[in-house]
Amino acid sequence: MACCICRRIWEDIPVINNRPDRLKLDSGEKGTFVSAHIKVEEKHKDLYRLDFTLSGALATKSSIGTLLLQKLANNPEIWVYTPQTRRLDSDEVLSLAQSWIKTCISSHKHCPSIGFNGLQNPPQGPTTTTSSNATFYPTRLIKLGLANDLNVKLVVTRNFSHRNEDSLEKPTQQYVTLSHCWGKASNRMFCLNEKNLELFRENGIPLKELPQTFKDAIHFARRLSSKVKYIWIDSLCIIQGNKDDWLYESTQMYQVYMNSYCNISATSAMDSSQGLYVERDPQHLWEENIDLNIKGLSRVKVDSKDHAKDLKVPIQRCSIMDPSLWNRKVESAPVNTRAWVLQERLLAPRVIHFCEDQIAWECGDMEASESASSGITKFELISGAINNKVQFKSLMAPLANLNGSSNSESDHAHENWKRIIERYSTTNLTEANDKLIALSGIAEKMSTQVRAPYIAGMWRNKYFASQLLWRVKTEYKSGIFLYSSTRPRNERAPSFSWAAIDAPHGIECGETQEDRNLWITVMEVDVKPQPKPNSEFGLVSEGGFVEISCQKFAIVIERKYRKVEGIVRDDMFTWTLAAEEDGHHKNMHPSVYLDSARDDYLDICGPHSSMWLVPAYKSPQGDLICLLLQRDRDNAEKFFRRGLSTITGLRSAGNTFLGEIIGDSNVLKSRDHVIRIF
């Protein structure tokens, strides 16, 4: 068995599909494959940072990982978790999950003490609620039955299509939910439809016919708690192929997940055939501590009282922490690349993740795993720097200690919303039109904190104008800019909304600024949700627009040519003012972030493209943020967003026209153009 440090290095060796198990050196030959560097972490004096670099025969020199060593008290009585079982369906794994749940329910401040939030008014919709239980239950559930039952049964909790009320289930116990990857169409097995609905209610569903993930989830739920009697699985509890049922049930996602006992997540499974219960080497999960010789480390003061007198060198006992563990095992896992799953994670009170080699835990107060059973490290690695980790589920939590300030809570929620949509924008959808509806549950929950009308993924509050200044994140690989963002064929949101674009690398929200600080003024917003059963937080009708007053300038967008390793590339875009026929401003090279270069560049490049620049905000650093709009050829007041441009103060220096704008905002006070962005 290798130590945890060696295992960590081995996992990160970046030789894809061709990693050698053994390297040979000739007689007398010496080689260095991995180098380590240790130092005291600047911002956290109780941490040592251990960086590994790969070089030599394995790869070109590159960083392959970072571990943190946390100082421990001398001779501590430390309980170290050492799992023994090789499969995730063991009683040992179940017991750990149950202990996490018990701790969460009994002592966590930010978690519900029971599975329900006690909603007194069940939602109204195409069904008529008749249950005497005042707590919310989904329209349909899978009844788990007894541990050895070979069937499970579909039950209906609300009257549907005027059916006999005597056949309705009146649940009094808890239910769990399942998050999973549907996978390719060929792997989407066994769904509820109008033909088998009555069969599933009357005769039940044979377990042997279910995909492995469903069988494993039912097996786990039956053992999890005597309080859990049901499980909700989307493909078995929503009628597939029935648009009205899907629309209605999609508006219930907020309550389905929020009121569950917990969410079971098939985190590492690519599709429903792979199951939850993987095999692993349990010793690879053992938590380990080490003795570190700290002599010679910079900024380390050695107190002789802290070390045994008979030792010639100072030794510090440390625990080993992996700041990238959560990202590798949970955040980057297959199920969490799904857009729908993001709201399932955020809304459920607690999540049990079935990862590639262990289970992990997520609730409002704690993130943990079998390899860090009392909680993962509170630090994470971002662009090489160690930062305090922001717990994902905390983004839904109201701000504490407000002292009655509703404005503080609203501002806090607004910032959290930006983080949520930046994360959400990187996820995948099978159906492109689901972009807004797959977020609707989170939006509905956040609306009680933001306290503003919801507009196609944005909020009509005092920061609305700055929300227009999002941009697609730049993808840069091997010295070349790549453009992978696309615009779906069918309009699902106005072009001014980030939801109008599919950007695999995500979008970046603009700086939060009150509308009064911007150089554009929002005059009117007209975006309407689609009619019921659609939610006001879901699908929007076509033709929505925002009307602004502004200054605008005709521009010409061009490809920018440059040399990369001796090769001429045209992988960047720039613009010049169309009015400057003498080329006075040809030396200006502003940053251009196109929303969808792949779809738009043929239409927006060149002198006849009707492109316009709208200066929108001057940052404290002197940068000018501008919208890039394209005018409709048939309507001079109708525009579509095509991107964003940033003109840095340095690049605009000496430029007569734009330098004047950046230097004196009074130039723009007239805002004599009123346009509509659709």
- Judged against a pLDDT cut of 70, whether residue 57 lies above it is answered with no
Per-residue confidence band for 52, with pLDDT thresholds at 50, 70 and 90: confident
- Helix 91-107 with 212-224: angle, nearest 10 deg: 60
- For the stretch 630-676, pLDDT in tens is 999 898 889 999 999 998 875 544 455 555 555 555 555 567 899 99
The Cα-based distances of 601 to 138, 220, 606 in angstroms read 46, 52, 9
Identify the pLDDT of residue 238. 95
Task: Round the average pLDDT of the chain to a whole number and report it.
Answer: 85
Kindly tell me the burial class for residue 237, based on how many C-beta atoms sit within 10 Å of its own C-beta (0-12, 13-18, 19 or more): buried
Per-residue confidence band for 622, with pLDDT thresholds at 50, 70 and 90: confident
pLDDT (average), residues 490-514: 97
The Cα-based distances of 18 to 10, 14, 77, 268 in angstroms read 13, 9, 43, 22
pLDDT (average), residues 555-568: 84
Identify the pLDDT of residue 59. 52
Nearest to 137 by CA among 249, 297, 285, 264: 249
pLDDT (average), residues 44-50: 88
* Domain ranges, ordered by start, for the chain: 92-278+329-376, 398-678
Identify the pLDDT of residue 332. 94
Question: If DSSP codes are grouped into helix, strand and coil, which group holds residue 92?
Answer: helix
Per-residue confidence band for 16, with pLDDT thresholds at 50, 70 and 90: very low
- For the stretch 528-561, pLDDT in tens is 999 888 889 999 999 999 999 999 999 999 888 8
Measure the N-to-C terminal CA separation of the chain; round to a whole number of Å.
61
pLDDT (average), residues 580-607: 78
Contact between 65 and 49 (Cβ < 8 Å): no
Contact between 566 and 636 (Cβ < 8 Å): no
pTM attached to this predicted model: 0.88
Contact between 191 and 240 (Cβ < 8 Å): yes
Per-residue confidence band for 44, with pLDDT thresholds at 50, 70 and 90: confident
- Check residue 533 and report its DSSP letter: T
pLDDT (average), residues 107-111: 89
The Cα-based distances of 665 to 163, 469, 548 in angstroms read 67, 18, 17
- For the stretch 132-180, pLDDT in tens is 334 899 999 999 999 999 999 999 998 765 455 667 888 989 999 999 9
Identify the pLDDT of residue 132. 30
Q: Take residue 333 and report the two structure tokens written for it.
A: 């896992």
Per-residue confidence band for 599, with pLDDT thresholds at 50, 70 and 90: very high
Q: Take residue 8 and report the two structure tokens written for it.
A: 């960590």
Q: Of 119-128, 163-172, 379-388, 418-427, which range is least confident? A: 119-128
Place of tokens 């004599």: 672
Nearest to 34 by CA among 17, 45, 50, 16: 50
Q: Take residue 139 and report the two structure tokens written for it.
A: 């329209």
Those residues with Cβ within 8 angstroms of residue 301's Cβ, 6 or more apart along the chain or in another chain = none
Identify the pLDDT of residue 161. 55
- For the stretch 389-441, pLDDT in tens is 989 999 987 765 444 466 888 999 999 999 999 999 999 999 999 999 999 99
Contact between 360 and 368 (Cβ < 8 Å): yes
